[in-house]
Amino acid sequence: MVKMNITMDNDILQQLQTALARFGEGSLPGVSMAMRQSAGLVRGTWQGFARGGSLPGIENLKRPSGKYARSIKIDRKGPFDYEIYSDAEVAGWIENGTEELDMKTTHPFGPRSRISKKGVPYLIVPFRWGTPGRNGQKRVGFRNIIPEQIYKQLLISRKNKFKFQASKVTASADTSDNLELNYNNHMVGVASRAKYEWGDRVFSADVDSLTDGSREDHFADGMVKMEGQNGKAAGYLTFRIISAAPGATGWIKPAMRARPVTRAVAGVTQDTVNEIIGSAVREELGL
């Protein structure tokens, strides 16, 4: 958990802190309100960063997250003591940094793992793609955006010579009785790993014919348009395999250096917080 505290920390307030705590909230409602207002300011500044805003000296998030922002909460410890915290894993990763991770040593061994005929564990990972926004703008919430030419000329084509047919989910984990062992020797419904009636795919030749054939464009190789059961919510997906086989590459998650977000938030808000609280104390105590 990543935490911040809002307490009385300038010279005047430190001298009064013990007395104020003894008086209680009812005796100094203006000061208590100032503390609450200050906590909201700090929380809002932190949430602004989580949603894509900037902080001095801190690298902006490449993938702003509403979930991260919603995890930032206020805990009122007392009338003059507030804690602002986030218990989201991502908050700790950003604040403290992470070490390099070879996903081949972790992901192929989970509950949704599969076992090849040669006895090698592997995992099929779906990647969701967003459609291009207006004027080529990236749509919020998607890390991967379909190359515009592929989307316009292939995926939404209505020409008679080609019509991209969606793949349909034909079973779910809740209804399938088709079970098999995963790496941990547990019986798992095959449908939970996907049972589909396959439609059309984007092939490498399609990518080459519609784009400059760059490596980034070829991430769209094998893309399918998915349709859930009962015709619900179509989306675009690609599937990649993480294999524990020796020599398998491309699944290294780089180390992430620490970004002291809470220190930056404190630095940005400190003067304003001191002024809000100090003004309330001077007004109520006639200083």
Give the 3-state secondary structure of 49-101: HHCCCCECCECCCCCCCHHHHHCEEEEEEECCEEEEEECCHHHHHHHHCECCE
Residue 5 has pLDDT above 80, yes or no: no
94 and 135 together in one domain = no
- Other beta carbons less than 10 A from residue 256's beta carbon: 15
> Residue 281's domain spans which residues?
2-98+256-285
204 and 189 together in one domain = yes
Q: Which residue has the higher pLDDT, 185 or 276?
A: 276
125 and 211 together in one domain = yes
Q: With bands split at pLDDT 50, 70 and 90, how would you rate the model's confidence at 211?
A: confident
Please report the pLDDT score of residue 191 as a whole number: 45
109 and 64 together in one domain = no
Residue 175 has pLDDT above 80, yes or no: no
The tokens describing 155, both together, are: 């995926």
CA dihedral 132, 64, 253, 94 (to 10 degrees): 170
60 and 181 together in one domain = no
Residue 193 has pLDDT above 80, yes or no: no
107 and 235 together in one domain = yes
Q: How many distinct structural domains can be found in the chain?
A: 2
Q: With bands split at pLDDT 50, 70 and 90, how would you rate the model's confidence at 264?
A: very high
- Residues 244-254 have pLDDT tens digits of 888 766 788 88
Q: What is the mean pLDDT of residues 201-215?
A: 80
239 and 128 together in one domain = yes
CA dihedral 174, 176, 181, 182 (to 10 degrees): -50
Q: pLDDT exceeding 70 applies to what percent of the chain? A: 75
63 and 149 together in one domain = no
The enclosing H or E element of 47 equals helix 29-50
Dist CA 191 CA 197 (whole Å): 12
Tell me 283's DSSP state: H
Q: What is the mean pLDDT of residues 220-230?
A: 81
- Residues 44-78 have pLDDT tens digits of 999 999 999 999 999 999 888 888 999 999 998 87
Please report the pLDDT score of residue 29 as a whole number: 82
263 and 207 together in one domain = no
Tell me 109's DSSP state: G
147 and 225 together in one domain = yes
114 and 232 together in one domain = yes
pTM summary value:
0.62
249 and 267 together in one domain = no
Dist CA 75 CA 52 (whole Å): 24
